[in-house]
Amino acid sequence: MRTFAGISTSNGFVRGPVFLYRGQGELPIVEYVVENGKEEEELLRLRRAREEAKKDVEGLIKVLEDRGNEESKIFESHLMFLDDPWLQELTEKRIRVDRLNAEAAVKKVIAEQRAIFARMNDEYFKERVRDIDDVERRLLTSLSGFERTLKFELKAPSIIVADDLTPSETVQLDRKFVLGIATNGGSKTSHVALLARALAIPAVTGLKDITEHVHPGEEVLLDGTNGLVTIRPTKEALEKFDELLNRQRTLLEEDKDNKVAGSLKDGGEILLYANIHPGVPVEGLKEVGARGVGLYRSEYLWLNREGVPSEEDQFEAYSEAARIASSLSEKGSITIRALDIGGDKLVRGISKTENNPFLGNRSIRYLLTHREVMKTQLRAILRASAYGDVWMMYPMVSCVEELREAALVMEEVKRELTEEGKSFNKNIKVGAMIEVPSAAINAEAICRHVDFVSIGTNDLIQYTMAADRSNEDVAHLYQPTNPAVLKLIKMTIDAAKKVGIPVGVCGESAADPIMGVLWVAMGVDMLSMSGTYIPLMSRMFKNLSRAELDDYAATIAALPDDSSAEEILAACRKWMEKAIPKLDDLLLL
């Protein structure tokens, strides 16, 4: 027996036979110098291949849309790559100037783009390498005439074990035969991960070399909750795993009986919302109990584009998302975060090199210094507000002056739309994200200028502790329970309550069973998270009452001032274990 540890990507337990997928392998492309005077012929080959690849992608999108599959949006970014004038120019330059054949030109330019994405700290952007790989293969197969059909011949329920899966490979999976997914590469933001979570398929990524140790058809145990895959399990291991499977089935049955997500055992209710962004499957949000969309990451519309998406592009995306949110509940709202770029979120043609981009011209600062970009986005958001209960918020607010300036731009845009006769909600709710210490310390003043605030714990912790959570050397300082972090969050909550506006949390800690419950105990009104975590958080709350939550907050507040982050976290865990005796069972899924 051997157990491989990877990244917990989609929760759940499953056992079954291996379907070992080796991938398609690298296409045998030959590089050569184009004869002098034949460059135009080579350019024509490239353009024809691009059109052929676009038709393939458009056909795939149509098939998926006809099936009602949300993952069709994944391939819209592929069309953006193929239509990108900057990439076209670079590739054609390789042919005209370097006189490379079209296949070699494509490979070199794509390799350069792959390297750019791979250097980014943001996991989502890193994972877009798989999109680039997919586009490259389509172009090369069109140019070289290789077999273009991908085939997954799943004939029985299986656990797919692969090096990694491209988007094109992922969407071909026959859902009724996919028990689970285990891959050498990938992360929580890969297309495999997004699809697995959307479909509630247990998955583990980042297993490094598991494909070298398994054989087709042999039974494996996949623990998506803890990120473990066991091969050649012993009889004892199988018996223990079967116990987990039985407890999992019991939990799933109990979830079906829990009619309202976020219900407390004394009848109170906690509002649980979903975080989404363009290109992510959203099917199943209603089933898991999402009340609406608490964070729509608009910056992903800028991904893979040269410059700024048009007002119509943005309006189409926002209005569609508003309709989706409206369908989730009677008062299903959507909160669109204004363009949040900078730091490690770089957009080609927009982002500039800065000595310290995390402390530079990012987020609301960027918008205020690029008024046309800001106005275009505000126009699209306002127009989308005619199609649902749309809220919008500014990221990285650090002072009141930014909100005053932003309000003037908003009023200007409203006047323009009114003069044009465009429909929009004149009373759209505008909020601020509390992500830096200055905003938390001055939260009461900020709250007087907005309709709501949302705490972005990811950045607030990072900026408070001056520790980059993606830097392994200082990751231990990324501490949600650090006393300084807790004080800033409490200051923000108290300020919002005093002014009389709602306060939410949309950072990763909202989906943490210990921290998410603590934020609510401290007074947070709503939590927003990946939809797959809503059942887990709902499970926590239905075992607690408002009185118990008040006791939780009081217990942690009473800890000594010099308590360490580890000591506070241990106290949180101890309280939760006492309040919910079957806590470990509830954390299974």
Known catalytic residues are 191, 506
The tokens describing 276, both together, are 């989404």
Q: Are the beta carbons of 196 and 173 closer than 8 angstroms?
A: no
- Which helix H or strand E contains 48, and what residues bound it? helix 39-66
Measure CA of the first residue to CA of the last residue in the chain; give whole Å: 24
3-state DSSP assignment of residue 477: helix
Closest residue by Cα to residue 53 from 153, 144, 118, 171: 144
3 state DSSP class of 452: strand
Q: Which of 563, 577, 474, 562 is nearest to 517 (CA)?
A: 577
d(CA 325, CA 271): 14
> With contact defined as beta carbons under 8 Å apart, do 294 and 452 qualify?
no
Q: Answer for the pair 403, 450: CB distance below 8 angstroms, yes or no.
A: yes
Element (H, E) at 183: strand 178-183
Q: Give the CA distances from residue 18 to residues 157, 214, 222, 569, in Å, rounded to whole numbers and listed in that order.
A: 9, 8, 11, 39
Cα–Cα nearest to 537, from 273, 225, 331: 273
Within 10 Å of residue 330's Cβ, how many Cβ atoms? 6
DSSP, res 100: B
Given the DSSP bridges, would you call strands 389-394 and 452-455 parallel, antiparallel or unpaired?
A: unpaired
Indicate the residue type of 113. Q
Structure tokens, 77: 């970014």
Q: Cβ distance 533 to 290 under 8 Å?
A: no
Closest to 72 in 3D by CA, of 168, 186, 188? 168
CA 146 to chain centre: 34
Report d(CA 494, CA 505) in Å as an integer.
14
Instruction: Check if the beta carbon of residue 203 is closer than 8 Å to that of residue 196.
Output: yes
Nearest-angstrom CA–CA distance, 214 and 216: 7
Query: How far, in whole angstroms, is CA 93 from its chain's centroid?
Result: 35
CB 203 within 8 A of CB 193: yes
| Residue 363 to residue 367: CA distance in whole angstroms | 6
Measure the CA–CA gap between 273 and 295, rounded to whole angstroms.
Answer: 8
DSSP 3-state of 89: helix
Q: HEC profile for 361-426?
A: CCCHHHHHHCHHHHHHHHHHHHHHHHHCEEEEEECCCCCHHHHHHHHHHHHHHHHHHHHCCCCCCC
